[in-house]
């Protein structure tokens, strides 16, 4: 498990920081909130169309996987309210409400996303406030609480440092995201 965790952190740090560094190097402060918008100038792509389409396809695949994971609690609640536990899992009585409720939940979320022109800023706030602590700080704290490494050992202090640093980054990123939402809200117009 520990080797897997180390590999996970290595992949995340390598991929995210390399993209962030390259993006800042290429676009500086003029970078748009949505990465793919940086490759469009006056509505025309500045990269090959096939590359832009592949990037959009991979973005769609990533969002589908993310939605599957993070919508699961909502799906559980809706299925608990709408399904019949006595009927089979794949019975029409349970499949139809499952399909309808999941479709409506995604449609509702998509409508809200389309109504908010600064949706990237909202994602930044959710990521900073929710996902960053869940992905970095909490696992390190849980490791210390579960396995109780020696407080004189390297692992304890490394995990503590990871939790403190990423908690601080989460606070700073949350403040920055709220600031950006306030700035963008001044130009808000529905659709």
The 10s digit of each residue's pLDDT in 85-113 is: 888 888 888 899 999 998 898 888 888 87
From 85, 115, 145, the end of a domain falls on 115
What is the structure's pLDDT at 156?
96
pLDDT tens digits, residue range 134-169?
888 999 999 999 999 999 999 999 999 999 999 999
> Are 36 and 96 found together in one domain?
yes
Residue 28 zone, left/alpha/beta (φ > 0; ψ -120 to 50; rest)? left
The pTM score is: 0.58
> Are 109 and 161 found together in one domain?
no
What is the structure's pLDDT at 148?
93
Domain presence at residue 10: no
pLDDT tens digits, residue range 39-85?
888 889 999 999 999 998 998 888 888 877 888 888 888 888 988 88
Residue 191 pLDDT greater than 70, yes or no: no
More confident position, 85 or 188 = 85
Domain count, the chain: 2
Half-sphere exposure of 62 (CA within 13 A, CB side): 6
Range of the domain at 98: 31-115
- What gap in Å lies between CA 39 and CA 52, rounded to an integer? 8
CA dist list (Å): 148 to 143, 152, 156: 7, 11, 8
Helices (H), 28-83: 49-70, 72-82
> Are 104 and 39 found together in one domain?
yes
Domain presence at residue 13: no
Domain presence at residue 153: yes
From 115, 144, 170, the end of a domain falls on 115
> Are 109 and 61 found together in one domain?
yes
What is the structure's pLDDT at 38?
83
Half-sphere exposure of 18 (CA within 13 A, CB side): 6
> Are 43 and 103 found together in one domain?
yes
> Are 183 and 151 found together in one domain?
yes
> Are 111 and 123 found together in one domain?
no
> Are 67 and 86 found together in one domain?
yes
> Are 60 and 92 found together in one domain?
yes
What is the structure's pLDDT at 178?
93
CA dist list (Å): 95 to 21, 76, 111: 45, 13, 24
More confident position, 57 or 123 = 57
Give the pLDDT mean for 19-48: 83
More confident position, 9 or 140 = 140
> Are 150 and 174 found together in one domain?
yes
What is the structure's pLDDT at 75?
87
> Are 138 and 108 found together in one domain?
no
Domain presence at residue 129: yes
> Beta-carbon neighbour count of residue 27 at 10 Å?
13
Domain presence at residue 150: yes
CB 95 within 8 A of CB 64: no
From 74, 90, 115, the end of a domain falls on 115
């Amino acid at each position: 498990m520990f080797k897997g965790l180390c590999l996970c952190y290595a992949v995340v740090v390598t991929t995210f920081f390399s993209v962030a560094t390259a993006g800042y190097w290429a676009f500086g402060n003029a970078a748009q909130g949505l990465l793919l918008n940086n490759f469009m100038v006056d509505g025309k792509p500045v990269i090959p169309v096939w590359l832009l389409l592949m990037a959009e396809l991979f973005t769609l695949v990533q969002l589908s996987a993310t939605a599957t994971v993070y919508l699961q609690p909502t799906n559980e609640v809706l299925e608990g309210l709408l399904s019949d536990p006595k009927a089979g899992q794949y019975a029409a009585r349970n499949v139809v409400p499952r399909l309808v409720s999941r479709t409506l939940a995604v449609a509702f979320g998509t409508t809200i996303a389309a109504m908010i022109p600064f949706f990237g800023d909202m994602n930044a706030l959710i990521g900073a406030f929710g996902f960053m602590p869940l992905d970095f700080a909490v696992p390190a704290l849980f490791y210390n609480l579960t396995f109780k490494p020696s407080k004189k050992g390297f692992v304890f202090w490394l995990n503590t440092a990871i939790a403190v640093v990423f908690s601080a980054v989460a606070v700073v990123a949350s403040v920055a995201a709220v600031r950006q939402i306030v700035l963008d809200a001044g130009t808000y117009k529905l659709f």
